[in-house]
Amino acid sequence: MQPTLLLTVESSFVLTGLGVLARGPAPALAPYARHTALAVALVWAGGRELTAVATVEEITQPSPTDPSLTLTAPALLLQLPEPAELPAGTEIWLTEQPLDDLFFL
């Protein structure tokens, strides 16, 4: 399987009790249904790597130009051993690792 870059983090938010929601341009998430669990590798700018489980989610917000419209964008909800905001530029890659090996609960 060819490595696939799923998302490059623009911003992230810790959602207490749920994980870390990472958002950024993510056209590679288009084929996946919402709530699909994926084995991923996070790669920080300095080269640090961490494997985790992510689920495909959506962020919906009002349009900045027309508040009567809403915009929807894909995002990844990450299950991490220590939830923390991810720095912009962190890459999230799809891996072939079995999901059962990655759950931190």
The pLDDT of residue 105 is above 70: no
Residues β-bridged to residue 43: 49, 91
What pLDDT, on a 0 to 100 scale, did the predictor assign at position 103? 59
Instruction: Return the domain boundaries, the chain.
Output: 4-98
Q: For 37, how many CA atoms within 13 A lie in the half-sphere containing its CB?
A: 10
**24/54 Cα distance (integer angstroms):** 14
> What's the pTM value of the predicted model, to 2 decimals?
0.87
Q: How far apart are CA 31 and CA 41, in angstroms?
A: 19
Do the Cβ atoms of 55 and 63 come closer than 8 Å? Answer: no
Topology of domain 4-98, CATH: Elongation Factor Tu (Ef-tu); domain 3 (2.40.30)
**pLDDT tens across 10-65, in order?**
999 999 989 999 999 999 999 999 999 999 999 999 899 999 999 999 999 999 99
Residue 28 phi/psi, 5-degree rounding, is -70, -15
User: What is the predicted pLDDT for the residue at 6?
Assistant: 97
Read off the pLDDT of residues 66-91 as tens digits, 9 standing for 90 and up.
989 999 999 999 999 888 889 999 99
